[in-house]
Copies of this chain bind each other. A is one copy, B any other.
Amino acid sequence: MWGITLHRNDDVSLARQLFLAVTERITAGQIAPGEALPSTRELALDLGVSRNTVCEAYTMLWTEGFIINHPGAASRVADGLAIATRPPEPKAEPERAPVHYRFDFKTGQPDLTLFPWSAWNRDIAGAAGRLNPGQMDYSGPKGYPPLCEEIARWLLRTRGMAVDPADVFVTSGATQALYILVEILHREGKSFALEDPSHPGIRGAVMDKGRSVCWMPVDDQGAVVSCLNGKTLSAVYVTPSHQFPLGGILPAGRRTELIRLARNGGFYIMEDDYDSEYRYTGAPVSPLYSMDPSRVVYVGTFSKTLFPALRLGFAILPRPLQPAWKHARQYMDVQNPLLEQAALTEFLRKRQMDRHIRRMNRVYGEKRAVLIHALEEAFGRRVQVRGDASGLHVALRFPGMEFGPTFEQACRGAGLRVRPVSRYCVETTAYSDTLLVGYGHLDEENICEGVRILRELLKSEILAYEKGKKELS
């Protein structure tokens, strides 16, 4: 009947297979409107299935309005259900295979092999066992209260920040915090001030929304905030502890100037403290937040200290922003999952976090020393290392050189990823001689071999092509 074949060993029940086959033929116009359906007995015999199966399929057809039942007579196909056969779906394009780099100096990569996975998994198991079913309901956009408390304590003991847990809002990484801030801080006709160069993440979050941008130049001391004088701003985004990508620390003078501007202009400052946990000379830099918690939103992440797939970060929010934040997140994704939040609470409470950061600080410090030594051996005075006091990457300035797409392509060909800073620039051309080198995730051998390959590339024709002259060799 109707050319229908049913498969007994299928995941889909026989009744549903029959239902699907019939609806397909009705919408394709192969079974005409008004056509009488065979009796359940007849069709059951024809298909070699039980009458129950057919009855079930007919009930589905009737429930969903494909057929109309007439008491005492055959059911008939409803009217107006034929739709033109749909055009074939385009085939999924195979995902482009990601380029494999043998030496990958990408930035912002923690060494995931050294994370204390067993301890973390115990905290996960502990949290899973402790949380009760009632807690697994929606719990609102703020975040798990014990985690907010532990984050406040952690910020106090590691950065001297006095934070009320009521102002801590848990997020899916710093990315989400910045996304929500761009959403709620936007004021019609006013710009967001961003650093140039800056991370593509914040640029995308602002520019994707069609918001206008005021670019702040960056020098060795971070953002040149004086350029903001006289501008009407929605908000200012800065990375004062370790400018991304160049690594400068915003000095006290610029900090106070920025706070004064924010107070006078009535705007907020987004402080993105993305990696200041790792510091190799001196104590961690104080956050801008401490200078004026009523004007600064402090954004932190656990992607660099724990791992990116955790998706946990936070923002410390001035009170007047909190209602708009809650409202926005309610419609965005409501809240973070609870399990990771509860596990991180323990990880902080037991100071496993502090121990892990102390250990990694030593490890990254050693990797940094290896890198800097290798760079000195390879390039001597031709290279100037910037931003090496903290974080997981350094900026390398090669005065007189110029790095563009051709150079990047040559690197790719050699299995090496290093990013020219020009990639992170919008208006400025001041950093075409500078490269970014992330080293957190690499071992010493990789670092040394990567630097060796970089040296080969800088010697070669590529550079001659880009600059018209050879700087090295």
Interface positions of A (Cβ within 8 A of B):
11-13, 15-17, 19-20, 23, 26-27, 56, 59-60, 63-66, 78-84, 86-87, 89-90, 92, 109, 112-113, 115, 117, 121, 124-125, 128-129, 133-139, 153, 156-157, 160, 164, 166-167, 171-173, 175-176, 179, 201, 204-205, 208, 221, 249, 251-257, 259-260, 263, 282-283, 285-286, 290-295, 307-312, 318-320, 327-328, 330-340, 389
Contacts and interface: CB of A to CB of B under 8 A. Distances in A.
Nearest to A204: B331
A286 B23 contact: yes
A252 B19 contact: no
Interface centre among A176, A255, A259, A334 (most CB of B within 10 A): A334
A286 B19 contact: yes
A172 B82 CA distance: 36
A355 to B, nearest CB: 15
Contact of A64 (B63, B286, B308, B333): B286
Specify how many copies of this chain sit in the oligomer.
Answer: 2
A79 B253 contact: yes
Nearest to A205: B331
B175 A333 contact: yes
Contact of A12 (B16, B87, B156): B156
Given A80-B253, A136-B307, A179 B332 contact: yes
B133 A87 contact: no
Nearest to A92: B166
Contacts of A336: 311
Contacts of A138: 308-309
Question: Which A-B residue pairs are the 8 nearest by beta carbons?
Answer: A65-B251, A11-B157, A172-B333, A65-B252, A112-B133, A92-B166, A309-B338, A176-B333
